[in-house]
């Protein structure tokens, strides 16, 4: 099968899928179909209303020339990922080109700032990360049974236009003090969309990749750089003890986990694809 004959299926619409579509002109393909819960219109993309939780939902548009990228989040009211399970069941083990799954680097849990590669022990802490790990296992099991290829991307915090904490800064919501802020990994949405396209169209199969900009920083440093560039006053810094009293559980989970993603494998298979390695350039592009 030639790459330009591929039908691209985006399973789950949202922030990342919008940027995948924006980059479509840079990559050869036959068509793009996005499964969405909302009505959309586009000259270049076919939008089809799908609810993967609905037992009557079908995936007739998926053929052997389809390359799928699955981005739908797991349901929050169930363990595992029954939404993905329903999707894979509806594929009916048909032969496709490839399925790419967008996972989270949270599957590694807390390594206290240590380096993790794709072979590191998986020890998710949060329910969200546990659901994503369950989904990774489902993708690999399905691909083994159906003889379909897969790629899994373990993704850290995504930022970009509309995804900077400017509102929080303007409201002067407190931020963890620099001395207690742990290193985290980020990736600009455009870079992630570019790598997602290469997963869809390349001949790379049955691989797992850590993806990030390769420049780990603290969340507090991220806020400080945004303030400098935008010209806003830095929010007050508080201790972790104080943060435990006023931050949400979700926000605290990001602050308490720390790991540095080893992206050597990503750089080997997708060389030169990270445009925004410098966080300052990434922030400026996001404004």
For the chain, 287 residues long, give each residue's pLDDT as a single digit of tens. Answer: 556 688 999 998 889 999 999 999 899 889 999 998 776 666 678 888 888 988 888 898 998 889 999 999 999 888 899 999 999 999 988 889 999 999 999 999 999 999 999 999 999 999 999 999 999 999 999 999 999 999 999 999 999 999 999 999 999 999 999 999 999 999 999 999 999 999 999 999 999 999 999 999 999 999 999 999 999 999 999 999 999 999 988 888 888 899 999 999 999 999 999 999 999 999 999 99
Kindly state the DSSP code that residue 26 receives in the 8-state scheme: G
List of E strands, the chain: 7-11, 31-36, 46-49, 66-70, 98-104, 114-116, 150-155, 157-159, 175-176, 183-184, 186-188, 207-210, 217-218, 237-238, 259-261
Q: How many other C-beta atoms lie within 10 A of the C-beta of residue 264?
A: 13
Residue 80 contacts residue 74 (beta carbons within 8 Å): yes
Residue 233 belongs to what H/E stretch? none
Question: Which pTM value belongs to this model?
Answer: 0.94
Range list of H helices, 64-126: 82-91
pLDDT at 261: 98
The SS3 assignment for 133 reads: helix
φ/ψ (deg, to 5) at 184: -135, 170
Cα–Cα distance measured from residue 183 to residue 185, given in angstroms and rounded to the nearest whole number: 7
The residue with tokens 């435990």 is 244
pLDDT at 44: 73
Phi-psi map region of 14: left, alpha, beta (phi>0 left; psi -120 to 50 alpha)? left
pLDDT at 133: 98
Q: How many other C-beta atoms lie within 10 A of the C-beta of residue 277?
A: 13
Cα–Cα distance measured from residue 116 to residue 31, given in angstroms and rounded to the nearest whole number: 37
Label residue 2 exposed, middle or buried (CB < 10 Å: 0-12, 13-18, 19+).
exposed
pLDDT at 281: 97
Label residue 257 exposed, middle or buried (CB < 10 Å: 0-12, 13-18, 19+).
buried
Domain made up of 3-159+189-213+261-277: CATH architecture:
3-Layer(aba) Sandwich (3.40)
pLDDT at 56: 84
Side-chain-side CA neighbours of residue 65 (13 Å) = 13
What is the number of H-type helices and E-type strands within the chain?
10, 15
């Amino acid at each position: 099968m030639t790459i330009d004959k591929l039908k691209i299926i985006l399973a789950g619409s949202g922030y990342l899928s919008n940027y995948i579509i924006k980059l479509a002109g840079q990559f050869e393909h036959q068509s793009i179909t996005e499964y969405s819960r909302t009505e959309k219109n586009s000259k270049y993309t076919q939008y089809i209303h799908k609810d993967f939780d609905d037992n009557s939902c079908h995936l007739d548009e998926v053929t052997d020339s389809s390359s799928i990228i699955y981005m739908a989040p797991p349901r929050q009211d169930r363990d595992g990922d029954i939404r993905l399970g329903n999707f894979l069941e509806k594929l009916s083990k048909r032969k496709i080109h490839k399925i790419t799954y967008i996972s989270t680097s949270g599957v590694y849990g807390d390594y206290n700032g240590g380096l993790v590669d794709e072979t590191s022990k998986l020890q998710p802490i949060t329910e969200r990360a546990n659901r994503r790990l369950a989904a990774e296992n489902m993708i690999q099991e399905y691909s083994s049974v159906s003889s379909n290829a897969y790629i899994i991307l373990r993704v850290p915090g995504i930022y970009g236009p509309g995804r900077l904490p400017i509102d929080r800064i303007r409201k002067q919501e407190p931020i963890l003090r620099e001395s207690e802020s742990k290193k985290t990994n980020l990736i600009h949405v455009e870079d992630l969309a570019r790598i997602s396209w290469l997963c869809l169209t390349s001949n790379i199969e049955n691989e797992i990749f850590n993806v990030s900009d390769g420049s780990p920083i603290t969340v507090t440093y991220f806020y400080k750089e945004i303030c400098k560039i935008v010209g806003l006053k830095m929010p007050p810094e508080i201790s972790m003890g104080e943060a435990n009293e006023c931050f949400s559980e979700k926000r605290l989970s990001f602050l308490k986990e720390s790991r540095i993603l080893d992206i050597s494998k990503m750089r080997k298979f997708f060389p030169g694809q990270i445009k925004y390695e410098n966080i300052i350039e990434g922030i400026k592009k996001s404004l």
